[in-house]
């Protein structure tokens, strides 16, 4: 059968050049793409976030558009264990629709799951959530952004009443007298952000970095705190203990704008600096210097990132730093505040509009009857037909193929074979599925396992919007049409919805909210049309985009949410007068340190942690294919302190094996005095034997569902 849906022509496609944004991290650096005799050129563009700068990944981003590995035809596996072969779009889509019907007929609607990505545009994230809840009617949807900022999101919601990574523009960092970075390494993860930190240093500001490694960012700091991985919460409580003792708490702010401080005050009373030094390894003098720098500053900002958040107690760890910020009166004060550095390109927008298991568009809770009624009205369905909340990302992947878990999975914009914790186990779960579908533009390690692979458009081939780490909604513009044989994700979802509706009488759109919608109306392929629907669905929600239009974005340097009124202001800075809580006050939450989920022992005596390197990005499926980036960072490595290497008899460059209770990785040793002697580090961008996530722990935070990527127990052996 044919789907009756075609991809809408992109308004910018065919232009000699377009103003757009980088496809990688949440800084969303502005760039211009231009056709030239040599191919597609990337030019930096002045913008408040990157201020004309790009990192090596941004400069080389266009090289993937015509890469030899680019997928341009669907691939289909005829039998388990067979080879993928080229197929037509009709054959591939028919196979998927038939597989979904078979699985749901035998096991129920929730037997089909969807796994999305933090790099998808707002339009695609919105459409994917709608597709799961309306076309599939499954509760099982989540995305890899769960592993990015979910702990900070949960902590922000319970303290501030809203989750926005930075509740102020990036430029405010340059005005802070003291800037505390906890588990953040922007010099390698988002280098143009360092221009704002350079402003801060030129003004005489102090930069303090908390990280178990002497990273490129820590080298630029005035003070580097090097705690044992997993002890950041204790460090935060010690800093607040000192602030209380020295009289640096802003009691007027606490009394007027917060609740719950007395419980936190009693909790941190037990976090004596000497005890925290014993626990974390951070000297008392450094704890006192940090507290003094924050407590006596005219303006101060505290930022957390993955190093603090990717723990089984990540929400509580972030809450400890939020407590510190509130006690010092920072949130909402000009030039001060607390924020989180979002990692993925659309990690912020991707979770606001329906990819998370418990959310509907506009950051509404899916178990809220009023939210269900509002969104169902926009979608033209009965609220009772919407499924309830699903489970977070790792729990979803871990349940695949089990007796009670999903038997089919559709993956858009993610590569969990490399990026998931306990990755070998996740890979085995993917192999157990009756149907695995992957939409991607390269044959990632996950796509290589799929029964059906769908070739989809790249970032420069479709229009849309992204929401960066500041909550600034930006326009992504198409330079060209997708290559022949390639479709956009929106077109894929529309075609599948068409087939599922045509073949399943139980799927219906409600007559009570207007005439029966056609498949094209229910799942439009024009991203601008999708965004207009997103605006209506988000209206009145915490992440309100109702006043954001493409034209308004085009006439400004992005638009900050919440923005409920087209003719009203947007919100570059939050919390100036109140917090979006029922009583307008922020909430303190008492939190206590607890050990990592897995402790070192005689068999596994070392702490293992993971992270990124400058030239690679996420699972590396894209960046490992760019020649310049491959030359800059060709292989994985295991970072060891020279003292540890000496005890193990390991020389620099020698191959070693890192072994945990879940698996192992093999790579060359890289000796560095900048890492703790009791800690081992490896980047997570490589697959196969060098896959760092073969080792990592799959224990999860009970609130956010964040896995404990940043610490587990290992041993290191010479190969």
Q: Calculate ∠ Cα 274-275-277, nearest 5°.
A: 65
Instruction: Specify whether 480 is located in the same domain as 621.
Output: no
Does residue 434 fall inside a structural domain?
yes
Q: Is 133 helix (H, G, I), strand (E, B) or coil?
A: helix
Residue 712: asked if its preceding bond is cis (omega within 30°), the reply is no
User: Starting from the edge strand earliest in sequence, which strands make up the sheet with 559-560, in order?
Assistant: 464-467, 472-476, 559-560
Task: Report d(CA 268, CA 241) in Å as an integer.
Answer: 5
Q: Which of 233, 244, 234 is nearest to 269 (CA)?
A: 244
456 in helix, strand or coil? strand
Asked if residue 226 lies in contact with residue 286, where contact means CB atoms within 8 angstroms, the answer is no
**Residue 43 lies inside a defined structural domain of this protein:** no
Joined tokens for residue 715: 């041993």
- CA-to-CA distance for 628 and 633, rounded, in angstroms? 9
- 560, 594, 619 - which closes a domain: 560
Q: Going by C-beta distance under 8 Å and a sequence separation of 6 or more, which residues neighbour residue 71?
A: 440, 441, 442, 443, 453, 455, 486
pLDDT for 4 equals 43
Lookup: tokens for 513: 């909210």
- CB neighbours of 549 closer than 8 A, spacing ≥ 6? 535, 566
35 occurs within a structural domain: no
Report if residue 472 sits inside a domain. Answer: yes
CA 541 to centroid of chain Cα atoms? 21
Q: Residues of the chain whose pLDDT is less than 50?
A: 1-2, 4-9, 503-521
CATH number, position 651: 2.40.40.20
666: which strand partners?
Answer: 657
Main-chain phi, psi angles of 74, to 5 degrees = -60, 150
Tell me the DSSP string of 21-66. E-SSBTT--EEEEEEETTEEEEEE---TTTTT---HHHHTGGGGTT
Cα angle for residues 610, 612, 618 (degrees, 5° grid): 105
In which element (H, E) is residue 716 found?
strand 712-718
Of 363, 341, 336, 342, which Cα lies nearest the Cα of 144? 342
What is residue 474's three-state secondary structure?
strand
Among 291, 308, 341, where does a domain finish? 341
DSSP 228-290: PTT-HHHHHHHHHHHHHHHT-S-HHHHHHHEE-HHHHHHHHTT--HHHHHHHH---HHHHHHH
- Helix or strand or coil: residue 399? helix
Dihedral angle over CA of 618, 621, 624, 628, nearest 10: -80
Closest to 661 (Cα-Cα) out of 714, 699, 608, 706 = 714
Query: How many distinct helices (H) and strands (E) make up the chain?
Result: 24, 28
Q: Which runs of consecutive H residues, i.e. helices, occur in 80-178?
A: 89-107, 122-130, 150-160
* 41 vs 36: CA distance, rounded Å: 7
Same structural domain, 303 and 392: no
Same domain, 117 and 129: yes
Regarding whether 301 and 357 lie in a shared domain, the answer is: no
Query: What pLDDT does 342 receive?
Result: 87
The helix or strand, by DSSP H or E, that contains position 680, with its residue range, turns out to be: strand 679-683
Among 318, 341, 364, give the residue marking a domain's end.
341
| 40: in domain | no
Distance CA 92, CA 317 (A): 46
Does residue 408 lie in a domain region? yes
What does the alpha-carbon distance between residue 671 and residue 637 come to, in Å, rounded to a whole number? 10
What DSSP line would sit under 665-678, residue for residue?
A: EEEEEEE-TTB-TT
* Together in a domain, 163 and 301: yes
What is d(CA 314, CA 561) in angstroms, rounded to the nearest whole number? 26
214, two tokens: 């002497």
- CATH code, 232: 3.40.228.10
CA separation, residue 165 to residues 104, 105, 148, 709 (Å)? 37, 41, 11, 20
Angle value at C-alpha 156, between 155 and 158, nearest 5 degrees: 65
Instruction: Say how many C-beta atoms besides its own lie within 10 A of residue 505's C-beta.
Output: 7
Give backbone dihedrals phi and psi of 300, rounded to 5 degrees, phi first: -150, 145
Q: What does the alpha-carbon distance between residue 10 and residue 315 come to, in Å, rounded to a whole number?
A: 41
CATH of the domain at 502: 3.40.50.740
Answer whether 262's CB lies under 8 Å from 249's CB.
no
Do both 184 and 311 map to the same domain?
A: yes
Residues 526 and 490 in one domain: yes
Cα 629 to its chain centre, rounded Å, is: 22
Phi, psi of 85, deg, nearest 5: -130, 155
Question: 338 φ, ψ to 5°?
Answer: -120, 145
Q: Closest by alpha carbon to 538, among 140, 126, 202?
A: 126
Q: E strands along 122-214, which residues?
A: 141-143, 178-182, 206-210
Tokens of 469: 């780490």
Same domain, 543 and 685: no
Comparing CA positions, the residue from 636, 538, 651 lying closest to residue 125 is 538
Flag whether 449 is in a domain.
yes
Our measurement of the distance from residue 592's CA atom to the centroid of its chain's CA atoms, rounded to an integer in Å, reads: 26
Shared domain check, 166 and 122: no
Same domain, 200 and 329: yes
pTM to 2 decimal places: 0.94
- Taking the alpha carbons at both ends of the chain, their separation in whole angstroms is 55
Range(s) of the domain holding residue 276:
150-341
* 265 and 239 share one domain: yes
For residues 579 and 585, give the distance between their C-alpha atoms in angstroms, rounded to a whole number: 5
Q: Do 223 and 113 belong together in one domain?
A: no
- Tally of domains in the chain: 3
Taking a C-beta distance cutoff of 8 angstroms, is the pair 579, 260 a contact?
A: no
- What token pair was written down for 218? 């820590």
- Dihedral sign for Cα atoms in the order 672, 419, 129, 358: negative
Helix axes 527-538, 369-379, angle to 10 degrees: 150
Task: Classify the C-alpha dihedral 231-233-235-238 as positive or negative.
Answer: negative
Per residue in 360-397, is it b (16+ CB within 10 Å) or e — as a string?
A: bbbbbebeeeebbebbbbbbbbbbebbbeebbbbbbbb
User: Could you read off the pLDDT of 257-273 as tens digits, one per residue?
Assistant: 999 999 999 999 999 99
The answer as to whether 709 is a domain residue is yes
């Amino acid at each position: 059968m044919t789907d009756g849906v075609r991809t809408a022509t992109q308004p910018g496609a065919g232009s000699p050049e377009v103003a757009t944004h980088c496809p990688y991290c949440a800084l969303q650096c502005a760039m211009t793409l231009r056709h030239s005799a040599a191919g597609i050129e990337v030019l930096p563009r002045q913008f408040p976030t990157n201020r004309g700068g790009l990192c090596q990944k941004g400069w080389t981003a266009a090289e993937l558009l015509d890469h030899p590995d680019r997928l341009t035809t669907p691939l289909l596996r005829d039998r388990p264990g067979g080879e993928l072969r080229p197929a037509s779009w009709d054959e591939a889509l028919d196979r998927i629709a038939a597989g979904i019907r078979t699985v749901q007929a035998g096991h129920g609607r929730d037997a089909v799951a969807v796994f999305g990505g933090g790099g998808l545009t707002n339009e695609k994230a919105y459409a994917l959530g709608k597709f799961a809840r309306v076309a599939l009617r499954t509760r099982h949807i989540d995305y890899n952004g769960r592993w990015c900022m979910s702990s900070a999101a949960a902590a922000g919601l319970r303290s501030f009443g809203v989750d926005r990574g930075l509740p102020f523009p990036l430029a405010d960092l340059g005005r802070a007298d003291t800037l505390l970075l906890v588990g953040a390494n922007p010099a390698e993860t988002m280098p143009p952000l360092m221009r704002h930190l350079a402003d801060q240093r030129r003004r005489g500001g102090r930069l303090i970095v908390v990280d178990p490694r002497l990273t490129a960012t820590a080298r630029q700091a005035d003070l580097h705190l090097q705690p044992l991985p997993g002890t950041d919460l204790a460090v935060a409580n010690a800093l607040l203990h000192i602030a209380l003792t020295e009289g640096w708490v802003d009691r007027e702010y606490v009394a007027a704008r917060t609740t719950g401080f007395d419980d936190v005050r009693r909790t941190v009373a037990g976090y004596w600096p000497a005890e925290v030094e014993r626990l974390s390894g951070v000297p008392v003098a450094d704890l006192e210097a940090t507290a003094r720098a924050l407590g006596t500053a005219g303006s101060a900002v505290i930022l957390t990132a993955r190093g603090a958040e990717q723990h089984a107690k990540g929400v509580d760890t972030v809450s400890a730093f939020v407590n510190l910020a509130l006690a010092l009166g920072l949130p909402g004060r000009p030039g001060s505040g607390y924020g989180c550095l979002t990692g993925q390109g659309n990690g912020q927008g991707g979770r606001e509009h329906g990819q998370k298991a418990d959310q509907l568009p506009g950051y509404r809770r899916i178990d809220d009857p009023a939210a269900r009624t509002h969104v169902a009205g926009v979608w033209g369905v009965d609220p009772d037909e919407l499924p309830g909340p699903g489970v977070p990302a790792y729990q979803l992947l871990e349940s695949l193929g089990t007796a009670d878990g999903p038997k089919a999975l559709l993956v858009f914009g993610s590569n969990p074979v490399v990026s998931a914790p306990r990755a070998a186990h996740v890979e085995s779960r993917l192999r157990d599925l009756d149907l695995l579908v992957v939409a991607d533009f390269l044959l990632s390690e996950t796509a290589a396992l799929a029964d059906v692979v769908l070739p989809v458009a790249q970032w420069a081939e479709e229009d849309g919007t992204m929401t960066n780490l500041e909550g600034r909604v930006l326009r992504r513009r198409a330079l060209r049409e997708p290559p022949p044989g390639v479709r956009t994700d929106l077109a894929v979802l529309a075609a599948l919805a068409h087939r599922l509706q045509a073949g399943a009488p139980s799927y219906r759109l409600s007559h009570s909210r207007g005439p029966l919608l056609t498949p094209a109306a229910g799942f439009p392929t024009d991203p601008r049309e999708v965004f207009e629907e997103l605006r209506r669905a988000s209206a009145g929600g915490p992440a309100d985009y109702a006043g954001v239009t493409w034209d308004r974005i085009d006439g400004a340097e992005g638009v900050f949410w919440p923005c409920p009124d087209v003719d009203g202001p947007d919100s570059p800075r939050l919390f100036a007068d109140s917090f979006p809580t029922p009583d307008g006050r922020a909430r303190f939450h008492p939190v206590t340190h607890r050990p990592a989920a897995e402790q070192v022992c005689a068999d596994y005596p070392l702490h293992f942690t993971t992270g990124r390197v400058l030239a690679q990005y996420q699972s590396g499926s894209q960046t490992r294919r760019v020649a310049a980036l491959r030359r800059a960072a060709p292989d994985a490595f295991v970072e060891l302190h020279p003292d540890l290497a000496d005890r193990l008899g390991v020389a620099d460059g020698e191959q070693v094996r890192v072994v945990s209770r879940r698996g192992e990785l093999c790579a060359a040793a890289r000796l560095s005095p900048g890492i703790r002697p009791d800690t081992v580090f490896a980047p997570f961008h490589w697959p196969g034997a060098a896959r760092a996530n073969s080792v990592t722990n799959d224990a999860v935070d009970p609130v956010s569902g964040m896995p404990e990527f940043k610490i587990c127990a290992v041993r290191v052996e010479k190969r």
